[in-house]
Chains A and B, each alone.
Chain A
């Protein structure tokens, strides 16, 4: 992988990919500052393939939701501008709610708006956005070698029908957070299996060391689909066949996964309220010292380390447990954000330059080392200075990933069928068997175009 990246650099340096690298290579060679800018302009002027507006200062609009820590986006923009004197980036802040952001972006882009030029979008969007003409097919413009910089599996997740529609920007995954102090007090090791987690939780609760055993995301929303995918993958169940054309969900394995999820509530390991929990709720309970274990994303780490939180210094993080110790670690659902280009942009080349830089080692290092985000750049992910930054970054390479079945443009419907029915099972309204049967039926209706 590192070799692959080196090739990209070489190609860029030799100008082998022509037009695309004019801007970035130019700036890279001449350094920064106004003088460099003048010279860069002078060099580019005679070129017949000069990118539109390449000689002038171009401003591109980047639409992005706030990233966990404040200042992340602006710092990245400043660093980008410093190395690209010809380019300016205007930040357009999007909602922190993924669905609201999708609404805003899809409405703007379908209306033909040329802005934003680049937008940050969810990892589950590529198929839907590609299908609806809301994203540029990046593999048409970025060379094959470019994609080798990313950690395994990420590019596949950003592809639809063999074409790549988004560049992975930073990733996230499900992690098991646990209370080191409580486990130590009870003389327990970190659980590697779900059964062990359940029994440890019971032990800690019985000793009145903690109120709840395990908190996770069980509300009727996208987050439940993530948690569900982990349990399903752990028990060997799948939602769709590998071609993504047929539902294969209805199986004893899937039912046993949901039965286990429900049992966490009935056995009192998870609070009944977990069926209304989203990430912040789980985080609140855990950070208040009321839960021994928690499933959450990368950002939960920095939250638990906020001074004043009751659990500072008492939290450990490990990959998720599995159903059998031979199969551990268990699966973690892939989350995170990609960079997409608006098909109506008037600054395609500049947008691509921006994406190249944002996924390059220097940019990804800022993301990881300064802001604790998990880099998508595989070389950076493995750098020891990055891994030392925090325990999440240390274990991220050991995590076993599972993606949501988002390779179909119908994914939102699929996910609704999953989380609505499984949420009903978590509250006890319907049996796990019914939940799986109904979800399967609804998904196959969706795939056949008969679903709502």
Chain B
């Protein structure tokens, strides 16, 4: 008995020893910065010649955020943006995956083509969308004008709703393939026999998708959604390049605001508070999304 406990302890100790290098890295690059920035968010920070000078101010940085119209708007914008784009990507991505799955020939070619937007660096694709949306020489205006759909050039990034919609469109264009690939992988994992059996039982295509395929790819889809929500909340490069947060502050995401406060204003306390509150929000949103989505998928299965 005693010998057994001793060996368990020994084994645990060896385990920790093996884990130590990885743990050190995790603590150094993940845990420490998070804890440090949470600590920062409770302080007034003055940069001096000798580095940061901290002064504990409790919740005052958070009170500053709550009182700020900019912060509230950025929060709302980011949440609405994340919900709409992730939903759109999920629906379009799933459709694309279903089509790809049915293709007999040219699938890999199409797949590569589909992945092109995803593989582009956002800063570059954002610049490209900038040219497309340009209100004077824009490709989009040129096409719509020649088709007589519009009579005068539209300044796509010049009006709040339009700018938000244009940004969302560029985002969906870029990230939909990611969802499509994940969903396709999920679909491919479903044994052919299952689908064949459903046909034999007289199920239509719609029923097969809704009652057989969808419940079976549920976990893959939740994974895709989770990844996308985390990314959508970090929305930075697209509005940063495309609109600079404008017009006014219409496309100022929480990350763009955080950047502004932290690195333009060098206002580190409030900046850290923006970051910390974003982290909290992302965690909550990710959990809510997963919970709602699982519920929906289970309902479909029943």
Residues of A within 8 A of B (CB): 99, 102-103, 106-107, 110-112, 128, 131-134, 212, 219-221, 271-273, 275-276, 281, 284-285, 288, 290, 343-344, 410, 412-413, 416, 420-421, 423-424, 426-430, 450-452
Contact = CB atoms under 8 A, between A and B. Distances in A.
Given A110-B47, A424-B247, A452-B71, A273 B136 contact: yes
Contact of A133 (B47, B71, B260, B265): B47
A131 B267 CA distance: 12
A276 B160 CA distance: 12
Contact of A452 (B52, B153, B261): B261
A426 B135 CA distance: 14
A276 B265 contact: no
B264 A99 contact: yes
B71 A276 contact: no
A273 B263 contact: no
A63 to B, nearest CB: 16
B246 A220 contact: yes
B159 interface: yes
B266 A220 contact: no
Nearest to B159: A427
The B interface is mostly helix, strand or loop, or mixed, namely loop
Interface stretch (B28-36, B61-69, B278-286): B61-69
A423 B247 contact: yes
A288 B261 CA distance: 37
Contact of A134 (B47, B160, B265, B267): B47
B248 A416 contact: no
B215 interface: no
B177 interface: no
A276 B158 contact: yes
A32 B137 CA distance: 54
Given A273-B134, A273-B135, A452-B71, A416 B247 contact: no
Chain A CB count within 10 A is highest, among B46, B67, B158, for B158
A272 B264 contact: no
Interface string B44-55: 001111111000
Contacts of A412: 260, 264-266
B155 A276 contact: yes
A430 to B, nearest CB: 8
A430 B246 CA distance: 14
Contact of B264 (A102, A212, A276, A427): A102
Contact of B136 (A132, A133, A134, A285): A285
B155 A275 contact: yes
A133 B153 contact: no
A285 B112 CA distance: 37
A452 B70 contact: yes
Nearest to A411: B265
Given A220-B243, A452-B68, A273 B158 contact: yes
Contacts of A221: 244, 246
B75 to A, nearest CB: 12
Contacts of A410: 265
A212 B137 CA distance: 13
B247 A132 contact: no
Contacts of B266: 106, 128, 132, 412
Which 7 pairs show the lowest CB-CB distances between chains A and B? A273-B135, A220-B246, A424-B248, A132-B47, A452-B68, A133-B49, A103-B263
Nearest to A99: B264
Chain A CB count within 10 A is highest, among B157, B247, B260, for B247
B117 interface: no
B67 A450 contact: yes
Contact of B160 (A102, A344, A429): A429
Interface residues of B, number: 40
Interface string B242-281: 0111111110000001001101111100100000000000
A276 B247 contact: yes
A309 B261 CA distance: 40
A160 to B, nearest CB: 14
Contacts of B245: 220, 420
B137 A284 contact: yes
Contact of B158 (A102, A272, A344): A272
Contact of B248 (A131, A132, A273, A429): A429
A402 B157 CA distance: 30
Nearest to B271: A452
A452 B257 CA distance: 9
A424 B257 CA distance: 17
Contact of B244 (A220, A272, A285, A451): A220
Contacts of A343: 49
Contacts of B265: 410, 412-413, 416
A390 B47 CA distance: 43
A15 B20 CA distance: 61
Given A412-B265, A452-B64, A452-B70, A272 B247 contact: no
A420 B260 CA distance: 13
Contact of A416 (B48, B137, B160, B264): B264
A322 B65 CA distance: 40
Contacts of B159: 427-429
A4 B249 CA distance: 48
14 contacts: A106-B266, A128-B266, A133-B48, A212-B136, A220-B245, A220-B248, A271-B153, A272-B158, A276-B155, A288-B137, A344-B49, A429-B159, A452-B261, A452-B267
A348 to B, nearest CB: 13
Nearest to A422: B248
B66 to A, nearest CB: 10
Contacts of A426: 247
Contacts of A111: 51
Nearest to A430: B248
A413 B67 CA distance: 16
Interface in B38-90: 46-52, 64-65, 67-68, 70-71
Contacts of A413: 265, 267
Nearest to A435: B248
B47 A273 contact: no
Nearest to A272: B155
Interface in B3-45: none
